Amino acid sequence: MKLDEFMAKVKSKNLAQPEFLQAVEEVVESIWPVVEENPRFKEAKILERIVEPERVIMFRVPWVDDQGEVQVNRGYRIEFNSALGPYKGGLRFHPTVTLGILKFLGFEQIFKNSLTTLPMGGGKGGSDFDPKGKSDNEVMRFCQAFMSELFRHIGPNTDVPAGDIGVGGREIGYMFGMYKKIKNEFTGVLTGKGRNWGGSLIRPEATGYGAVFFAEEMLKTKGESFQGKTVVISGSGNVAQYATEKVNQLGGKVVTLSDSSGYIYDPDGIKGEKWEFVMHLKNVRRGRIKEYAEKYHVKYVEGGRPWDIKCDVALPCATQNELNDDEANTLVKNGCICVSEGANMPSTPEAVKIFLENKILYGPGKAANAGGVATSGLEMSQNSLRFNWSREEVEEKLHDIMINIHKQCVKYGKEGDFVNYVKGANVAGFIKVAEAMLDHGVV
Ligand code: NDP
């Protein structure tokens, strides 16, 4: 079979799931030669099996809002692949959540988790519930309703969800409380837990820090560092916040942040008290990034994305397909040498092509943002050990994991003096999963 024929078959089975097809195509393009050269993978139909989730769970989530009105949302859990360990991956609460979005995220998660070298399979879940504008009580009632179905499908040795867009410490807390009540069991069934009840230090920071560590490794291959670099970041949620903190610690200057309404541009850098302001604005007051521009009298671009701001390094940390080919061209033209993806699949396929053609340092999400799930893996280990590592210990382990992921990408992605990190991440992630699937037989 040819690649086109394979993709046509996947398309016919997954109509109206464009993001899932986009993610599959990118991976399959990279790994096709590996499968062609390996008759064992071909005979066992590893590719045909790996694009099919082991299990898809969809359920009704009814709850009552503050006005006493019944609301109905849809809940999902995609248990995609358990070849390397229990399903692991976040829960996303956002109105754009569909089956196709979660299948793309679950599929990416298989290879990302493999790259971490920790024993975790791939999964993803969530709901079309929008936490924005809801009271704490409404969020709690929704989380409880969601968990009153999800609990029967997950467990510390089966499937261990975490947070993602719209799911932070507050939501994990409410869901954990409900799981504990229904099962009468205090276990590490979720990661991203609070510090006092089984959470790991550095888990909130991990994805953002990891994306910066990965960028640092890429920069080192060119004899460069973050020192004195201008950095453009999108988003202002969990990943963007801690990516900003780590860039500041490494001597770079972050000049933009955004949310779905627009972006701010602060040429003096978002650091110190200004960074604290963002943390309070987004995590406590749950306000809009526009308020930063009002407080510090800087530029705010309503409805805009920050990619036309001149920079050395770009860190997309908001959402999928938030950086297109025109914007990729603008970044390259403006002298950007490095893009490290904190978000999942933020660059469109056309944008990725431009980064590769121009041979800039481009770290795709499944490698660059793997620090989040890696630290979730460390949280699971600490829960099993009933022991907590110190901040320094967890950060050092996270740093080592990111250095190791970078090494694997270089090993499989080197093309002369250029490293194709897309190929490197896909091939390195795939081989381990494929070998494990062979070992387990046709299941
Ligand atoms: P948060 O919910 O904390 O923040 C999301 C940010 O992205 C917000 O600023 C949000 O703005 C913005 N955003 C969301 N949707 C859109 C959109 N359609 N257009 C423009 N901006 C948007 O989520 P996280 O920071 O946790 O996640 C960000 C990205 O990182 C996602 O792609 C996620 O999958 C990925 N990721 C997260 C990990 C984690 O550990 N949290 C791990 C690995 C990857 P607004 O408030 O206006 O919606």
Residue matched to tokens 């490293």 = 419
Instruction: For residue range 14-41, list pLDDT tens digits in order.
Output: 999 999 999 999 999 999 999 999 999 9
Closest C-alpha to 372, from 237, 211, 198, 234 = 211
Q: How far away, in angstroms, is 422 Cα from ligand 1 center?
A: 22
Largest CA distance in the chain: 64
Instruction: For residue range 77-105, list pLDDT tens digits in order.
Output: 999 999 999 999 999 999 999 999 999 99
Closest C-alpha to 430, from 27, 7, 12, 17 = 27
Q: Taking the alpha carbons of 17, 328, 209, 253 in that order, is the dihedral positive or negative? A: negative
Which pair of tokens denotes residue 4?
Answer: 């086109």
Say yes or no: 14 and 163 in one domain.
Answer: yes
Mean pLDDT for 344-358 is 98
Q: How far away, in angstroms, is 282 Cα from ligand 1 center?
A: 12
Please report whether residue 387 resides in a domain.
Answer: no
- Is residue 342 within 6 Å of ligand 1 at its C-beta? yes
Q: Report the CATH number at residue 7.
A: 3.40.50.10860
Say yes or no: 156 and 241 in one domain.
Answer: no
How many Å apart are CA 28 and CA 102, to the nearest integer?
Answer: 18
Number of domains forming the structure of the chain? 2
Ligand 1 atom 44: the closest Cα is on which residue?
343
Q: How far away, in angstroms, is 343 Cα from ligand 1 center?
A: 7
Q: Kind of pairing, strands 313-315 and 230-233?
A: parallel
Please report whether residue 442 resides in a domain.
Answer: no
Nearest ligand 1 atom to alpha carbon 345: 32
The single residue of 88, 103, 112, 124 carrying the catalytic annotation is 124
Ligand 1 atom 21: the closest Cα is on which residue?
260
- DSSP type of residue 196: G
Q: Report the CATH number at residue 226.
A: 3.40.50.720
Say yes or no: 144 and 108 in one domain.
Answer: yes
Answer yes or no: are the C-beta atoms of 121 and 158 closer than 8 Å: no
How many Å apart are CA 180 and CA 151, to the nearest integer?
Answer: 9
DSSP state string for 118-182: SS-EEEEEEES---TT--HHHHHHHHHHHHHHHGGG-BTTTEEEE-BTTB-HHHHHHHHHHHHHH
Where a domain ends, among 303, 334, 368?
368
- Determine the straight-line distance between the first and last CA of the chain, rounded to whole angstroms: 22
Please report whether residue 261 resides in a domain.
Answer: yes
Mean pLDDT for 430-437 is 98
Q: Give the per-residue pLDDT at 46.
A: 98
Mean pLDDT for 387-403 is 98
Q: Give the per-residue pLDDT at 313.
A: 99
Say yes or no: 211 and 357 in one domain.
Answer: yes
Active-site residue flag, 124: yes
What is the domain extent for residue 118?
3-187
Q: How far away, in angstroms, is 308 Cα from ligand 1 center?
A: 20
Burial of 117 (0-12, 13-18, 19+ CB in 10 A): middle
- DSSP type of residue 416: T
Please report whether residue 403 resides in a domain.
Answer: no
How many Å apart are CA 64 and CA 104, to the nearest integer?
Answer: 31
Assess whether pLDDT exceeds 90 at residue 364.
yes
Which pair of tokens denotes residue 244?
Answer: 């900003």
Say yes or no: 221 and 169 in one domain.
Answer: no
Instruction: For residue range 257-305, list pLDDT tens digits in order.
Output: 999 999 999 999 999 999 999 999 999 999 999 999 999 999 999 999 9
Say yes or no: 170 and 265 in one domain.
Answer: no
Nearest ligand 1 atom to alpha carbon 342: 30
How many Å apart are CA 382 and CA 188, to the nearest integer?
Answer: 9
- Is residue 163 within 6 Å of ligand 1 at its C-beta? yes
Please report whether residue 389 resides in a domain.
Answer: no
326: three-class secondary structure by DSSP: helix
How many Å apart are CA 20 and CA 99, to the nearest integer?
Answer: 9
Burial pattern 213-231, b for ≥16 Cβ within 10 A else e, equals: bbbbbbbeeeebebeebbb
Say yes or no: 31 and 149 in one domain.
Answer: yes
Assess whether pLDDT exceeds 90 at residue 224.
yes
Amino acid at 78: I
Helices vs. strands in the chain: H and E counts, helices first: 17, 14
Percentage, residues of the chain above pLDDT 70? 100
Q: Kind of pairing, strands 55-64 and 70-81?
A: antiparallel
Answer yes or no: are the C-beta atoms of 24 and 107 closer than 8 Å: yes
Say yes or no: 222 and 164 in one domain.
Answer: no
Mean pLDDT for 143-157 is 98
Say yes or no: 323 and 213 in one domain.
Answer: yes
Please report whether residue 375 resides in a domain.
Answer: no
Where a domain ends, among 352, 368, 384?
368
Assess whether pLDDT exceeds 90 at residue 114.
yes
Q: Give the per-residue pLDDT at 1.
A: 82
Say yes or no: 305 and 340 in one domain.
Answer: yes
Rg of the chain over all Cα atoms, to the nearest angstrom: 21
- Is residue 239 within 6 Å of ligand 1 at its C-beta? yes
284: three-class secondary structure by DSSP: coil
Say yes or no: 326 and 281 in one domain.
Answer: yes
Say yes or no: 120 and 64 in one domain.
Answer: yes
Please report whether residue 440 resides in a domain.
Answer: no
Please report whether residue 417 resides in a domain.
Answer: no
